[in-house]
Structure 1
Amino acid sequence: MELWLVISAAFLAGIVYAMVGGGGLVTVPALLTTYPNTAPALLLGTNKCSSVFGTAVAAWRYGRHVRLDWAWLAPAALAALIGSGLGAWTLTWTDPEFLRKLLPWILLLVLFYTLRYPQFGLSRITTSHSVRQRFLIAVAIGASIGWYDGFFGPGTGSFFIFLLVRWLGQDFLHASASAKVLNATTNLAALVMLAATGHVWWQVGLMMAAANVAGSLLGTALALKHGAQLVRRVFMLVVAVLIIRTAWLAYF
């Protein structure tokens, strides 16, 4: 029964992850409440085992139907990989408490900005950035959010999407597709580090991964069918839930 609960959570998380990120909102609480006597680090590693497969499949699925600009996405993914490793290393000697307090306010600004501009992210915008500027912006986004994912984590996929829409002129559908590639690399970096220290429960993680992949395929199909409009709505819903969740953890 316990296993079926976390597998079901992984399936639901796969749907959310594939569209806008934030699947950890579902799987992490499910793991922590289902296995309360298990070390949190082991459960977090198990969650990464699940999410890395789902995110990778979503990235592959998007890549078959949405044109990805690899000229900036590939170096951004490499920067995200390195940034995630550095973030995890930073976590070994720094307390992330300051981010825990700050995060709800950052997310509130993201939600406010998205609501203020109703057309934000509904269509692609041709920016005035040169090729070099797009490259540098993309690498900065990959490195900074990658570091954040390794150091703290909640809302990583949503931050990737927002910044790609805001600074690179992508619509929500293309930003979600690009974010999956970036998120897959940060998840992989975290998984490798956690696995190396024995913090992955492989029996549970791989079964959750299968469910996460199934959910990811469904979420990707919904996003591709309904386009940027649906992804924008789900994005705002997930960010709103993230604000409530992170504020509760930080202040109550």
Structure 2
Amino acid sequence: MDIEPWLLIVMALVAVLTGFLDSVAGGGGLVMMPALLFAGLPPQLALGTNKSQSIAATTMAFVNYARAGLVDWRKEKWLGLLALVGAATGSLLVQQISTRALELIVPLLLTGVALYVLLSPRMDDTQAHQLLSRKGYAPVAGAIGFYDGFFGPGTGSFFAATQVGLRGEGLTRATAHAKLFNMMTNIASVIVFAAGGKIVWALGLSCAVGAMTGSWIGSRFAVKHGARLIRPLLVVVSLALTARLIWGWFAG
């Protein structure tokens, strides 16, 4: 697929915004996906190309959070691998069936995330009582990984909110671990979509440069400001994604 040079520049600039959002609160995919579709990519090519730039953003964010001492890689790696397997399965499946039904369910899930963030007194950086152990959280990690491979918007929000609510983590550390898991899901999705020939590499690499830039800025802001920055952005992103998906559903 031929891509005009000016379009590469424009999409790279869009990716700066999505990289910032993804590194702080998640949800950049629902800014990037409509942009890729507007650029003329078919849905499956848009999904694959989005993953090729998203992996750059999540990896950059993960590195910054890890350097700040917020990621326990040794203990969390198995959850990351489960998320990877789930994402690979979802990416294989989405290349075979329609995502129409999922587009109706996702707004409800995102509304739940936004309400939880708004109403829960625990969405801050304090540790709380965990309802699920690391092993107990494993099915949740796998399910969110599957969702990310299959569709994707709001994956970072889901990972962060469930780790706060179910594992009792502080919001900044939960966001850091969300980037680890999201990086793993993106690795799986990129491999599967690339094998299926569903990535426009020139566009994906151009967007990756922008996404890494935005992610570097966003993750450093998040480490510095913690829940004061992450909480409001998580609410705004969740509600914005909900509105966008509802609009997309009724618009057909």
> Does TM-score exceed 0.5, indicating one fold?
yes
TM-score by length of 1: 0.91
**Which whole-Å deviations, capped at 9, do the CAs of 1:151-192 have from their partners, x for residues lacking one?**
221111111111011011112211110000100111111110
Shift, 1:94, TM fit: 4.4
Deviation at 1:207, TM superposition (A): 1.6
Between the aligned partners of 2:63 and 2:24, the Cα distance in structure 1 is 13
Which of 120, 123, 128 matches 1:121? Answer: 123
Aligned to 2:103: 100
1:165 paired with 2:164, answer yes
Contact 1:45/1:200 (<8 A) preserved: yes
- 2:241 and 2:128 mapped to 1: Cα distance? 30
From 11, 14, 36, the counterpart of 1:31: 36
Q: How does 1:139-218 map to 2 (within 5 A)?
A: 139-218=138-217
Deviation, structure 1 residue 98? 2.4
- Displacement of 1:4 in angstroms is 1.8
Say if 2:124 and 2:231, in contact at 8 Å, map to a contact too: yes
Superposed CA deviations along residues 224-243 of structure 1, whole A, max 9, x for unmatched, are: 11111210111001001011
Structure 2 CA distance, aligned partners of 1:128 and 1:15?
29
Using the TM superposition, give the Cα deviation of residue 59 of structure 1 relative to its aligned residue in structure 2, in angstroms.
Answer: 0.4
Give the Cα separation in 1 of the matches to 2:130 and 2:176: 22
1:7/1:79 Cα in 2 relative to 1: closer, same or farther (>3 Å)?
same
Q: Distance in 2 between matches of 1:221 and 1:128?
A: 27
Displacement, 1:126? Answer: 4.0
Q: Secondary structure at the match of 1:121?
A: coil
Letter in 1 for 2:31: V
Whole-Å separation in 2 of the counterparts to 1:181 and 1:53: 12
TM-score by length of 2: 0.91
Letter in 1 for 2:65: Y
Corresponding residue number in structure 1 for 2:19: 14
Cα contact 1:72–1:139 (8 A) shared by 2: no
Q: Report how far residue 43 of structure 1 moved.
A: 2.6
Does residue 136 of structure 2 align to residue 137 of structure 1? yes
For structure 1, the residue ranges without an aligned partner over 5 or more in a row are: none
Amino acid at match of 1:10: A
Task: Tell me, in whole angstroms, the C-alpha distance in 2 between the residues paired with 1:105 and 1:79.
Answer: 25
The one-letter amino acid of 2:86's match is G
Q: Distance in 2 between matches of 1:94 and 1:41?
A: 11
Look up the match of 1:55: 58
Shift of 1:211: 1.2
In 2, the alpha carbon distance for the partners of 1:215 and 1:139 equals 30
Contact residue 29 and residue 152 of structure 2 kept, 8 A: no
| Aligned-partner SS, 2:226 | helix
Match of 2:3 in 1: none
Specify the SS of the correspondent of 1:111: helix
Structure 2 equivalent of residue 90 of structure 1: 93
Question: Secondary structure in 1 aligned to 2:133?
Answer: helix
Distance change (3 Å), C-alpha of 1:97 and 1:72:
farther
SS in 2 for 1:123: coil
- Look up the equivalent residue of 1:124 and give its one-letter code: T
Q: How far apart, CA to CA, are the structure 1 residues paired with 2:101 and 2:35?
A: 25
Alignment: residue pair count: 246
Task: Write the letter of the residue equivalent to 2:80.
Answer: A
Which of 4, 7, 17 is the matching residue for 1:2?
A: 7
Deviations 1:38-69 (A, max 9, x none): 33322322221111011111101100103323
Does 2:243 match 1:244? yes
> Percent of aligned positions with the same letter in both sequences?
35
